[in-house]
Amino acid sequence: MTPTLLTQTNGRNGRAMQLPFGEKRDGPLFNQSILSVKQFSRDDLEHIFAVADEMRMMVERVGSFDLLKGKVLAVLFYEPSTRTSSSFIAAIQRLGGSIIPINEVKYSSVAKGESLPDTIRTLEAYADVIVLRHPETGAAALAAKYARKPIINAGDGIGEHPTQALLDLFTILEERGKIDGATVTMLGDLKYGRTVHSLARLLSLYNVKLNSVSPELLQMPRELIDELNAHNIPQFETTSLDDVLSETDVLYVTRVQKERFANLDEYEAVKNSYVITPEILSRAKQNMVLMHPLPRVGEISEAVDGDPRAAYFRQVEYGMYVRMALLAMVLGKA
């Protein structure tokens, strides 16, 4: 799809300039950083999901198209990633743009001691948008403070992973047809798992019930529970999946985050607390949606991968459509 029509707008210095057809400089995310799910309203989510649906249709129809031709995405990852980095790269490439990949900061000047603000100010000289994963909570907000270009938070320590939460919600919508009315059970590492923190906040914009199942050591942070209570979200906390399995519509399983533990003995004590097996699924609703942000390290048995309820690899694919939508919106093309 080559943009051909032109519209008139005021450019820098107030001079009239031409914009390609489709430019949406008044769109909800235009030129904005994506730092936290707290910045989204329910209307924003509906808009993002509608664009993501269009992206899916376009990919199915034509594979890739030139909506973001000429745009450059910098992918700056201080922590390992398969899905988030690859899906952002696939997203910009399917939209006709290109990338600056820094997936191994040890091969960049970060290894010489360069600060995050200086790295960001350098990359924004080359790129139109920067996707950042960093081990410290608040790193994406710090980067955005120094940047003139939009920063997309791809995970900041145990803080947030907003684009994962958006794709998780999109998955629930695509798999169930609606989000309202769902009983969502989050299982595993609810203390360090940033994906559950972001998803719980987004779910609080809907009419849902939230169950938290974890070892006592890995419970949902108290301030997040209080935040959800303030949104009148019914919540139930337990250490036993059996307490809530039969009422669960969406089971969101997470990995115990070994890399966040200061004391590895504590990790060893809780690492195998829950494993989803075919026997457990046999006691769950027939239309339950089984999700996991991945990677998994044993908490979902491979024996359940063939069950139609196992949505985690479809979830991976939905992620690319959501990230295509976000890039198009941030860059004013959706």
Give the phi and the psi of residue 328 in degrees, each rounded to 5: -65, -40
Work out which of 19, 20, 30, 83 binds ligand CP, going by CB under 6 A: 83
Amino acid, single-letter form, for residue 285: K
Nearer to ligand CP, 11 or 295 (CB): 295
Nearer to ligand CP, 203 or 334 (CB): 203
- Count the site residues for ligand CP by CB under 6 A: 8
315: contact with ligand CP by CB under 6 A: no
294: contact with ligand CP by CB under 6 A: yes
Shortest Å distance, C-beta 291 to ligand CP? 11
- Angstrom distance (rounded) from CA 152 to CA 71: 15
81: contact with ligand CP by CB under 6 A: yes
Nearer to ligand CP, 27 or 153 (CB): 153
Nearer to ligand CP, 104 or 279 (CB): 104
Nearer to ligand CP, 164 or 248 (CB): 164
Question: Rg for the chain (alpha carbons), in Å?
Answer: 20
**β-sheet with 209-213: strand ranges across:** 235-238, 209-213, 183-187, 250-253, 289-291
Q: Terminal CA-to-CA distance of the chain, rounded, Å?
A: 13
Shortest Å distance, C-beta 100 to ligand CP? 18
Nearer to ligand CP, 57 or 297 (CB): 297
Nearest Cα to Cα of residue 219 among 194, 192, 195 = 192
Residues with Cβ within 8 Å of 234's Cβ and at least 6 positions away in sequence, in order, are 209, 210
- Angstrom distance (rounded) from CA 319 to CA 91: 9
Of 76-84, 93-101, 117-125, 268-276: span binding ligand CP (CB under 6 A): 76-84
- Kindly identify the residues of this chain, within the stretch 152-181, that bind ligand CP according to CB under 6 A: 164
Site string for ligand CP, 6-45 (x = CB under 6 A): ----------------------------------------
- Angstrom distance (rounded) from CA 275 to CA 297: 10
Work out which of 2, 7, 9, 82 binds ligand CP, going by CB under 6 A: 82
What is the DSSP annotation of 7-22? EEEE-GGG-EEEEETT
Angle at 275 between CA 273 and CA 278, to 5 degrees: 155
198: contact with ligand CP by CB under 6 A: no
293: contact with ligand CP by CB under 6 A: yes
Q: Which residues would be at the binding site for ligand CP (CB under 6 A)?
A: 81-84, 164, 293-295
